[in-house]
Amino acid sequence: MFNFDGSFRRLPVQSLGGSSVETDRSQLIKKAQIERKKREELRVKHLSTIKIQKLIRSFHHRQVIKRQERVNYENYLKTNRLENFHDLEFLLKRLLYFYELDDSAKLITLCQFIIKNINKFLELVLTSNDENIKIQWQFRVKKLLTICLKQLFASTLPIAIPMRTIETFTSFESIKKLAPADVNEQEILKFLKREFSYMIEQNYFQNVRKMLDEMINQDTYDEITTIPKKEMSKVILEMIERPLKLVNNLNYDEEFDSKILSSFVIEFLSKDSNYTIRNFIIPSLASKPVFPFVKLINFLYNVHQRVNGTDNNNQGEGKRPFKNIKFNGYLLYAILHLDVNYLDQIISRNLLQQYLTLIGTMTSCIYKLPKANEYTKFSNFDDDSDDIIRDANDSDESDDETTQDEEMQPQFERLILLDVIQQINDESRVNVIVKNIDSVLNLPDVIHSICVIAHNLMIYNRAAMNEYRLLDLLAFKPNFIRALWYTLLTSKTDNDQLSISILSRGITISPDQSDKVIPILAAFCALLGRLLSTLHDGEFYYCSFGNDAHSDMSDDNIENIEPIANNVMPFHIKDIIHMCLTLKELSIGLVELAFPETRSAVRDHYRSILLGNESEYQDNAIINQQKTIWTQLLKVCVSLLRQFHTRDLRCGFCPSENWIAPTLNIPLDRPKDLTFSRRRGPRPFQPIRDFTKKDIEEGPPISTKQIRSITILKEIPFVVPFNKRYEVLQGLLAAEKLRSQGDMQGFLQGPQTHITVRRTHLYEDAFDKLSPENEPNLRTKFRVQMINEQGLEEAGIDGGGIFREFLSELIKSSFDPNKGFFILTKDNMLYPNPSASIIHENFKQHYYFIGRMLGKALFENLLVELPLAEFFLSKLAGRHTDIIDVHQLTSLDPDMHKNLMKLKSYTENDFKELGLDFTVVCDDLGDTRVVDLKTDGSNITVNSSNWIEYIQAMADFKLNRQIHEQCKAFRQGLANVLSISWLYMFNTKELQVLISGAEIPVDVEDLMKHTRYGGDYNPEHETIKMFWNVVRNFNDLQRRQLLKFVTSCSRPPLLGFKDLDPPFCIQNAGDDADRLASASTCMNLLKLPTYIDEVTMKEKLLYSISSGVGFELS
């Protein structure tokens, strides 16, 4: 700056800060940046000041002109009267300019004149020869109507005149009636188009919505109706209809249609709704044939594409024109109610694509609903994977978060969303979608949208596959299921890698990619699982092997998917084998993703401080939503994989090695560390929690590696070889024995239970002395004293052998059909007697006791020969005892299962001839009675629409209801001795092996390899050589009798004789060749005399092992 004081030289700047300090380069750059920033701020302030000044001057000038025009208006009326259109023009021009809310009287005066002279006025507006004059008057009409609309809220004067003015100039019928006869319809439509274009820009629908909210009591419409209960309701409805009729009547004009529909959607469809809109406006619009539903769907679809950046034709257009359109539950509700009269048009391929895409986008609003926790007993496809969800939801914060979500969600919105779910599964709508779904199978976006709908329904309700019609019918569309699988196999990430392969390796994918893949994968698993549950083994096997038309899945184009004709099974057996491999790897990968090894770098309480309360809540909501989505995915994948494995156990379609994961590392060095109990540790798909004081007090939490191993052993145990799982079980049992019995049991010390029982009344004495009241803990060592038939104590001290004989005979007596607790199937397999309550009054106590005894046998690793029915074993090893698997009927009554499966091919006439109803006849020891399979079942006939329910209800009755109390008591008794969760590692066949041993021949070479010798016996002794020669010449039955004679069990150990404890031992019993061989089963010891030849040895051995007497033989 120059001061203009005559000085033209720059004076040196004096620094009084002391000696100068050398400034480095970075400081100079920083100082320059600060100075530039200050100059920029000064420039912005200067420009802002100029703009503010402009606005103020403009406002002030307008106010001056308005006051001047108001004075002119009033002076004109002092000297003139409103008598002609010249007067009207002079007054109207000025009123439209200076109008304020206090000028309502002036407005009403002009409106009255216009209405009184409406014919001449319309002639001036529509048919004036001077185009400029016509345009000017049409503009004045637009402004007048806008002012009239605003006047409805701002005056204490009657609103009839402004309302009449609006009605007259916005109704096509009214204008056509009052306008000159030579005005054609197209001219009227053009006028209305210009009129509404302007009014929409001036918040027409916003003002109409304001009228509805303020002038109609929300309690007026408490139920759905199309009849207006108040005159104002009718007026508002007509005001909404008029611009929408115009959209429907005019030729396609994207700009005009978008302007009308966007404003309508924002104010009435996507905005927070109320009872008037829900129960009157939307039903009334849906009943009008002139409602532009198709154009509405086209518009919303285009908006959706633009907002999501997928509309290639509008890349230059921004998102701002439609930013206020919310694709939420209110809009979804409106669409599902407005489409009632237009479902027949949705069969069009393009419209169906747009319709499904919109519904799929908006069904995410279902996440706002509290989860439906109801569990249906008919969820046979949805097997035992519920521990995953329970673990995911079991956290300290879950209850608080659920309560908070419910409090934040309005009750009205909840009702809307519940209705949305009901409408999605409406019969007419579902039929249209399912019947026309084949036409869109080559459109990946549509497939994804349908899967999103299904996925959101499944997340809301665990029983969605059975309760929702849409999912139930989709499950029986094999072409659709096949298209889902093909889409999954071709879905790739941004790095051009298959998404399934990435997940199978336990690697996370991007959120965008997960949004594409997860719904399709989850829907595929659930739908195919539902289909499989309705196919009996014959259908599965025949369809899979008999269909060669679609065995090749290597096409590169999804459009090459060929329909499968007359086949319920979507895949060939080769595809199923490949699918099982993929699902196995995918399930293992998801388990790894569920329990990450990394910890967040920011502690939880620091994160809450940084984000704030609102951000923290949003962050938690996102985490919870993702947790639910990924947990659901793991659940359905595991469920389908388990179904295939269960089917493979019966049909054997997949090579056994395909189920094993060779690279899986289960820690077997310390199997006791694999605790199956619920402890504070990592939860599925949640960040690792920070340690709390409570965690430290309770001891170290389960490690990630342990929780992964436990999850795999509980959910997909078949990927681990049986021998390894058996070793894990033995480790768990050994650890529990150490806790219960102490480490001195090898020296016959520590906690022990002594009982004395009569051999002739084994069951009765044991039931009394081993009751929970007398012996609450059966994990201790038992010492048994037998009383023989003469009432004398049998000789011998129980070192374990007497106990094993006692327990073996007790269990055999308990399961003896003659006792009445168990009966035989047609295949001579044991299961609980449905009539046990008639035979024994306290039958539950008996089943509890028998369950404890079987648990004790498993706990002590004692094999007992019990042929148990498969469906009964499933209730011992399954998490849910009431799950229905119709295929298990084959293990109870093969003929019934076969006849029930025949119902699938019956026609409606066949059902009428058969005359079935929902009842079953029961014979309880000669007492015949009829039982309803469902409420009022005797009055419900079986037909082509409910035969599946009948089959499931019959299977439920036979497999569950009849023996529910017996199985429940038995399972409780079993759980009293050992943890039921340990048995989750084994399927029914493997559990039978655990109980009874494997049906394999006795391996003499293995027995000889692991045999020990006492006295002067050794492997090279002549007597020992003769013994093994004799045993080699035994048949398998004789070898089993020898094994039982020495060890009290006729079956070899599961992992070979190396696991026999104590080891098989042979001891010299002297030189008396006439003496019989004897045994000490407590030590697995065979006392063998020195026989002179093999013939004598064989004769004596056979006599000893077949004598069948007690321990007094030795």
Q: Which residues are catalytic?
A: 1082
Sign of the Cα pseudo-torsion (817, 823, 827, 829, in order): negative
Omega prior to 1062 cis, within 30 of 0? yes
What is the residue type of 636?
Answer: V
C-alpha to C-alpha distance for 472 and 462, rounded to whole angstroms = 14
Both tokens assigned to 422: 């009901």
C-alpha to C-alpha distance for 897 and 883, rounded to whole angstroms = 17
C-alpha to C-alpha distance for 799 and 782, rounded to whole angstroms = 9
Among residues 1100, 1097, 1101, the alpha carbon closest in space to that of 1021 is found at 1097
In order of 257, 274, 322, 729, 1036, the CA distances from 1040 in angstroms are: 88, 79, 82, 25, 6
Residue 918, SS3? Answer: coil
CA 259 to chain centre: 39
C-alpha to C-alpha distance for 972 and 11, rounded to whole angstroms = 102
H or E stretch covering 1066? strand 1065-1068
C-alpha to C-alpha distance for 854 and 873, rounded to whole angstroms = 12
What is the residue type of 693?
Answer: K
C-alpha to C-alpha distance for 107 and 119, rounded to whole angstroms = 19
C-alpha to C-alpha distance for 331 and 270, rounded to whole angstroms = 5
Q: What is the DSSP letter of 1092?
A: S
C-alpha to C-alpha distance for 798 and 1081, rounded to whole angstroms = 9
Give me the helix-helix angle, 801-814 and 762-769, nearest 10°. 100
Radius of gyration of the chain (CA): 42
C-alpha to C-alpha distance for 518 and 500, rounded to whole angstroms = 10
| Complete DSSP assignment for 451-486 | HHHHHHHHHHBTTHHHH-HHHHHHTT-HHHHHHHHH
Residue 236, SS3? Answer: helix
C-alpha to C-alpha distance for 723 and 501, rounded to whole angstroms = 29
**Beta-bridge partner residues of 1080:** 1085
Both tokens assigned to 897: 């299962």
CA 586 to chain centre: 17
Among residues 349, 562, 566, 338, the alpha carbon closest in space to that of 436 is found at 349
C-alpha to C-alpha distance for 791 and 827, rounded to whole angstroms = 39
H or E stretch covering 924? strand 919-924
CA 253 to chain centre: 43
Phi and psi at 676, nearest 5°, equal -95, 0
Asked if 88 and 113 count as a contact pair (C-beta separation under 8 A), the reply is yes
H or E stretch covering 1088? strand 1085-1088
Among residues 902, 938, 898, 904, the alpha carbon closest in space to that of 920 is found at 938
C-alpha to C-alpha distance for 267 and 324, rounded to whole angstroms = 10
C-alpha to C-alpha distance for 579 and 654, rounded to whole angstroms = 11
What is the residue type of 60?
Answer: H
Quickly count: other Cβ atoms within 10 Å of residue 973's Cβ.
24
Please, how many CA atoms are within 13 Å of residue 660, restricted to the half-sphere of its CB?
10
Both tokens assigned to 283: 């039903």
